[in-house]
Structure 1
Amino acid sequence: MRFLSERHLWEGGATFLVGLALWWFTGDVDVPVVTPTKVGVALMCFGGAQTAWGVYRSARRPA
């Protein structure tokens, strides 16, 4: 990857997709400490924020 903003875009997109998969497919899984669906939602929020940061940095990059 040439620029740090590309890295943020890829990592944010991958994190969002992992969170989406957790949210969709772990609705009936019982874990004693945390609910996997809530972890999925948190990962989707973090991935979306990281992707938005990558978009912002790529827009602010000097040409």
Structure 2
Amino acid sequence: MNWDRIQGNWKQFKGQAQANWGELTNDDLDVVEGRREELVGKIQERYGIAKDEAERQVDDFTRTNV
């Protein structure tokens, strides 16, 4: 998993993240700015899921989009 690549190209990955997690707003994704922990937190908040589930989803996203 190469989160550094996602963070460095966040503007490109932002659209993919929003397509994957439709409940996240542009403002949410602007706040995230490619930071993994921020993304996990926003997913938890918007979807009401546990941290480990949000982390699994982010890991799956990373595997399929990098």
TM norm. shorter chain > 0.5: no
TM-score (norm 1): 0.33
Answer 1 or 2: higher relative contact order, Cα 8 Å, separation at least 6. 1
Higher-Rg member (1/2): 1
